[in-house]
Amino acid sequence: MSIEKTLSSDLVYRGKIINLKVDRVELSGGRKAIREVVQHAGAVAVVAVDSEENVLLARQYRYPAGKELLEIPAGMVEQGEDPLSGAKRELAEETGAAATSWQYLFGFYSSPGFSDEYLRVYLARDLEFASQSLDEDESIDLVKIPLGRVPEEIERGGIQDAKSIAGLLGAFRLLGKNTG
């Protein structure tokens, strides 16, 4: 396996959520190529399961998709923030829930062909509810679906968000549900 050597790097956009850089790299054998990279601070996502084995989902309009999507609670990790603390914050903000049981499920790169975003997914159980504390640009409806219906919802297209699909199927498997 060959490592690509960075020859130059130009930051072409600095944003609130992402940065975009264009790198010139040298491939094995001396060939040159351009790599466009979306830089992201990292994110967390939470599969929250209540005492009745329902999963908490956020229904919200996603501008790039042009429609409402059902997603597990998620958000960016703030600078200097521990990922688990970020997961707890996002769950509270988006759903109004706090959990006393937390388990790290897994982490993954969301789209490593062009982005360095790394998501950490947690399972939250033993939930207590208060009120949502949404960011001023968020509008989220809380939806509960039975954990046992997760595969069906994914198959029929009711859940189309990649981090949600990965997290929900991971939690479904861990909690011993029969997918077949």
Question: For residue range 16-57, what is the model confidence (pLDDT) as tens digits?
Answer: 999 999 999 999 889 999 999 999 999 999 999 999 999 999
- 138 Cβ contact partners less than 8 Å away, ≥ 6 residues apart: 60, 94
Q: 10 by DSSP, 3-state: which?
A: strand
Pick the catalytic residue from 26, 136, 138, 152: 136
The pLDDT of residue 130 = 80
- For the chain, the average pLDDT equals 93
Catalytic status, residue 136:
yes
* Domain extents in the chain: 5-40, 43-174
Binned at pLDDT 50, 70 and 90, residue 139 comes out as confident
Q: 173 by DSSP, 3-state: which?
A: helix
Residues 1-12: b if buried by 16+ CB within 10 A, e if exposed: eeeeeeeeeeee
CATH number (3.40.50.2000, 3.90.1150.10, 3.90.79.10, 3.40.50.620) of 43-174 reads 3.90.79.10
- Give the count of beta carbons closer than 10 Å to the beta carbon of residue 102: 15
The DSSP letter of residue 159 is -
- pTM score over 0.75: yes
The pLDDT of residue 88 = 97
84-112 average pLDDT score: 96
For residues 161 and 33, what is the distance between their CA atoms, to the nearest angstrom? Answer: 31
List, for residues 143-170, the tens digit of each pLDDT value.
Answer: 999 999 999 999 999 999 999 999 999 9
Give the chain's length.
180
List, for residues 55-77, the tens digit of each pLDDT value.
Answer: 999 999 999 999 999 999 999 99
